[in-house]
Amino acid sequence: MEIAQPDPAQDASTGGAPARDRAATEARLIEAARAVLIEKGFQGLGVNAVARAAGCDKQLIYRYFGGLDGLGRALGEAFSASLTAALDARAPDGAAQSYGALIEALVLAYLDVFAADREAQRLVLWELSEPGPALQGLAKARARALAGWIARRRGRLEPPDGVDAPAVNALLIAAVHQIVLARAASGALAGVQLDDDEGWRRARAALGALARMALSAP
């Protein structure tokens, strides 16, 4: 999943060139921060490492983002926008008929997106093994993108009474991560082969059924 880049809008007072230059530099710094996180994790993320990867003066990180924390927030926003676009591209057309069907569509779309994105998988591994502010920010950005996708599509749909939908949704997303990471690591999960078409079809169908059954009225 490619990170969405800032819109290089022109600045009318300067003819546009400085605004374009700044937008291009910001985009390069955001991409460099993402690359450093993927390769080295949070412990390797610093202004010097990002500036070196971007081929920029590190002072530009302070000038454009206010420092590493601001750059991390910008990276989270770009990550959220990219995930939203990827989900929209894979989600089925048409309105869901129930809240359970809506979450089933989301979970299966996210499974496809995450399975196709080795860099996103690596970031989740870093989140689990070496949590830090930047990686926690990306986790929050992912949560915002998923919650925003639901909010835009749910309309008047509601989960069944007595169901803790946020907790169920969180566990379903965790299941997506486990399924995909297990396939990458060993090709199987709890005796179910995931590295062939039949095994993947079984896992995908079971995940969809879990979402539908857990979040649909009896």
pLDDT tens column, 82-103: 999 999 998 888 888 999 999 9
CA 97, CA 21: separation in Å to the nearest integer?
47
Based on the domain organization, do 142 and 101 belong to the same domain?
Answer: yes
Residue 201 has pLDDT above 90, yes or no: yes
Contact yes or no for 53/36 (Cβ under 8 A): yes
Per-residue confidence band for 20, with pLDDT thresholds at 50, 70 and 90: confident
Based on the domain organization, do 148 and 196 belong to the same domain?
Answer: yes
- Smallest Cα–Cα separation from 92: which of 80, 106, 82? 106
Based on the domain organization, do 69 and 93 belong to the same domain?
Answer: no
Per-residue confidence band for 4, with pLDDT thresholds at 50, 70 and 90: low
Based on the domain organization, do 133 and 191 belong to the same domain?
Answer: yes
CATH code for the domain in which residue 55 is found: 1.10.10.60
CA 50, CA 66: separation in Å to the nearest integer?
14
Based on the domain organization, do 164 and 202 belong to the same domain?
Answer: yes
Contact yes or no for 80/30 (Cβ under 8 A): no
- Smallest Cα–Cα separation from 50: which of 65, 33, 64? 33
Q: Which residue has the tokens 């022109």?
A: 10
In a domain, 194, yes or no: yes
pLDDT digits (tens, 9 = 90+) for 154-190: 999 999 999 999 999 999 999 999 999 999 999 999 9
Identity (one letter) of the amino acid at 105? A
Based on the domain organization, do 92 and 24 belong to the same domain?
Answer: no
In a domain, 123, yes or no: yes
pLDDT digits (tens, 9 = 90+) for 108-150: 999 999 999 998 998 898 888 877 787 788 888 899 999 999 9
Residue 151 has pLDDT above 50, yes or no: yes
What pLDDT shows up at residue 12? 41
User: What are the φ and ψ backbone dihedral angles of 39, each rounded to 5 degrees?
Assistant: -80, -40
Based on the domain organization, do 87 and 22 belong to the same domain?
Answer: no
Residue 3 has pLDDT above 60, yes or no: no
In a domain, 145, yes or no: yes
What pLDDT shows up at residue 2? 53
In a domain, 5, yes or no: no
Question: Is the CA virtual torsion 89, 95, 99, 105 positive or negative?
Answer: negative
Total domain count, the chain:
2
In a domain, 66, yes or no: yes
Based on the domain organization, do 84 and 69 belong to the same domain?
Answer: no
CA 148, CA 168: separation in Å to the nearest integer?
17
Contact yes or no for 194/179 (Cβ under 8 A): yes
What's the pTM value of the predicted model, to 2 decimals? 0.82
In a domain, 25, yes or no: yes
Contact yes or no for 104/117 (Cβ under 8 A): no
130 against 30, higher pLDDT = 30
What residue numbers bound the domain in which 86 lies? 80-214
Per-residue confidence band for 8, with pLDDT thresholds at 50, 70 and 90: very low
CA 150, CA 166: separation in Å to the nearest integer?
11
In a domain, 55, yes or no: yes
pLDDT > 90 in the chain, percent: 61
Per-residue confidence band for 63, with pLDDT thresholds at 50, 70 and 90: very high
Looking at 73, 102, 117, which one is the last position of a domain?
Answer: 73
